[in-house]
Amino acid sequence: MNIQQNLTSDTTRQREVVDALNAVLPKGAVLFNEEDTRPYECDGLSAYRQLPMVVALPENEEQVVGVLKACHRLKVPIVPRGAGTGLSGGALPIAEGVVLSTARLNRILKMDSYARTAVVQPGVRNISISEAAAPHGLYYAPDPSSQIACTIGGNVAENSGGVHCLKYGLTVHNVMRIRMVTISGEVVELGNEALDAAGFDLLAVFIGSEGMLGIVTEVTVRLIPKPQQARVIMASFNDVVTGGNAVADIIAAGIIPAGLEMMDRTSSRMVEPFVHAGYDIDAAALLLCESDGNIEEVEDEILRMEAVLQHSGATAITVSQNEAERLKFWSGRKNAFPAAGRISPDYYCMDGTIPRKELGRVLLGIEEMEKKYGLRCANVFHAGDGNLHPLILFDANNADEFHRAELFGEEILELCVEVGGTITGEHGVGLEKINSMCVQFSREELDAFFAVKRAFDPPQLLNPTKAIPTLHRCAEHGKMHVRKGELKFSDLPRF
């Protein structure tokens, strides 16, 4: 009898929300049957799944406003969703909530080659911006490896990075202005098409806020001229510490490469049979160092990088001789994640950032953890930014392996914090790293994050339960930030 009552009340609630959304959206833009909502049950963190109550597919800003006003009135949580490639569970639905998909907000509204800007809707794929800008000799620099699928709205929410971000900056450095809708349905513009905007820099606050402050409906991005030439060096190292130190040496020599990526032996052996990139699979570590600019600049920078790499202990150095070879060298790096799927049923991609000089120490620490947890880990990452992406290989059907993979991931992030780094690089906190936030931040800092959230979203309906842990969650997790030996949250019970 009780179960029946619950079912009835759930269905009544779903009907109420569907009716409210149907009133503001066109036919076919509100999904609620299980077979229609199933594709939205997870993002790239596919080990975690949850069917949403309803999915809304608005086609313009006015409809986004309508969805938000309806959800605000009915007190329904909303999870924004771009392409669902996020790796931290940011777009994971909430059972009693609405997923607001930007799939139909996918138009490039303006391409201004004089101002070198583009105005796009949030559901436009990252690579589509560069494709549309190419005839003007321009491109959009931030290039996540997922760029053929991920959307600019998702990039803004995650402050995404990519191979070229070391030299050209992250999303936050390449977005000039956004339009967004608040939970109460108000349309707000942040930033400016000029170099700076008056008042507080709320654009910077918003970028990287993981769908918790508002729904992005329009983005103005900065475009830059395509370089005349690009070449890449592939350098081999006999151990990961020497490879890691070479990364720090290049930056210390005053060189900012257009890309500086590292792959360990597990990664190169994983990817080579897949893409035949010509990698030295006997090397303990490979560095890919790209130079771009005019022909003279590239020639000079390649020579300088070669000299540093030799001095730092590289055992072999190959320089791409043409564009086809350059793309071949990068193809392995860009396909490392899919290649992991060939040797392991599941992988767990971690994302922490550390000072470059600590790369060797942390990679050795990860090697030790492989033994401790009895799981393999492949490292392929943005070395120039100190942004690690350990891929923990495991089988999600084996509950014990899954649990060990989670503990392994947490310990990597704790090591990142210990060496002076952070628990996120570019994939966000989402649900995946929410417990690790307790380790990195103090009670005061978490309170400040909640204060920002409440200022934008007083009823806390936008992507709640993600990114910022409550103090009780930290207490339950049993891990808390301890600074100078002083135990925080001493008033909360330990579990």
Give me the residues that bind ligand FAD (CB under 6 A), please: 43-44, 79-87, 90-91, 102, 122, 144-146, 150-151, 153-155, 157-158, 160-162, 210-211, 215-216, 337, 426-427, 463
Residue closer to ligand FAD (CB basis): 109 or 303:
109
Rounded CA Rg of the chain: 23
Cβ of residue 346: shortest distance to ligand FAD, in angstroms?
Answer: 13
Residue closer to ligand FAD (CB basis): 292 or 426:
426
Cβ of residue 127: shortest distance to ligand FAD, in angstroms?
Answer: 12
Residue 325, CA distances (Å) to 217, 234, 258, 274 in order: 39, 11, 17, 16
Q: Cα separation of 158 and 89, whole Å? A: 11
Residue closer to ligand FAD (CB basis): 326 or 427:
427
Residue closer to ligand FAD (CB basis): 132 or 284:
132
Cβ of residue 38: shortest distance to ligand FAD, in angstroms?
Answer: 16
Torsion of CA 332, 336, 341, 343, to 10 degrees: 70
Residue closer to ligand FAD (CB basis): 44 or 409:
44
Residue closer to ligand FAD (CB basis): 174 or 236:
174
Count CB atoms within 10 A of the CB of residue 355. Answer: 14
Residue closer to ligand FAD (CB basis): 89 or 243:
89
Across-strand partners of 393? 347
Q: Cα separation of 394 and 78, whole Å? A: 32
Cβ of residue 154: shortest distance to ligand FAD, in angstroms?
Answer: 2
Cβ of residue 457: shortest distance to ligand FAD, in angstroms?
Answer: 11
**Is 67:21 a contact under the CB 8 Å cutoff?**
yes
For residue 243, the SS3 value is helix
Cβ of residue 143: shortest distance to ligand FAD, in angstroms?
Answer: 7
Cβ of residue 358: shortest distance to ligand FAD, in angstroms?
Answer: 21
Residue closer to ligand FAD (CB basis): 165 or 230:
165
Strands (E), 165-258: 175-181, 187-191, 215-222, 224-225, 229-237
For residue 487, the SS3 value is strand
Residue closer to ligand FAD (CB basis): 238 or 331:
331
**Is 79:52 a contact under the CB 8 Å cutoff?**
yes
Q: Which residues of 373-404 are buried (b: 16+ CB within 10 A; e: fewer)?
A: bebbbbbbbbbbbbbbbbbbbbeeeeeebeeb
Residue 342, CA distances (Å) to 267, 271, 381, 423, 491 in order: 12, 9, 19, 27, 48
Residue closer to ligand FAD (CB basis): 211 or 249:
211
Residue closer to ligand FAD (CB basis): 249 or 426:
426
Q: Which residues of 281-317 are buried (b: 16+ CB within 10 A; e: fewer)?
A: eebbbbbbbbbbbeeeebeebbeebbebbeebbbeee
In the block, tokens 């392994």 appear at: 408
Cβ of residue 209: shortest distance to ligand FAD, in angstroms?
Answer: 8
Residue closer to ligand FAD (CB basis): 161 or 257:
161
Q: Cα separation of 202 and 182, whole Å? A: 13
Cβ of residue 160: shortest distance to ligand FAD, in angstroms?
Answer: 3
Cβ of residue 426: shortest distance to ligand FAD, in angstroms?
Answer: 3
Cβ of residue 430: shortest distance to ligand FAD, in angstroms?
Answer: 6
**Is 389:350 a contact under the CB 8 Å cutoff?**
yes
Cβ of residue 338: shortest distance to ligand FAD, in angstroms?
Answer: 7
Residue 77, CA distances (Å) to 68, 71, 256, 313 in order: 10, 7, 43, 54
Q: What tokens appear for 396 in the block?
A: 């999600």
Element of type H or E holding 204: helix 202-206
In the block, tokens 């290649």 appear at: 339
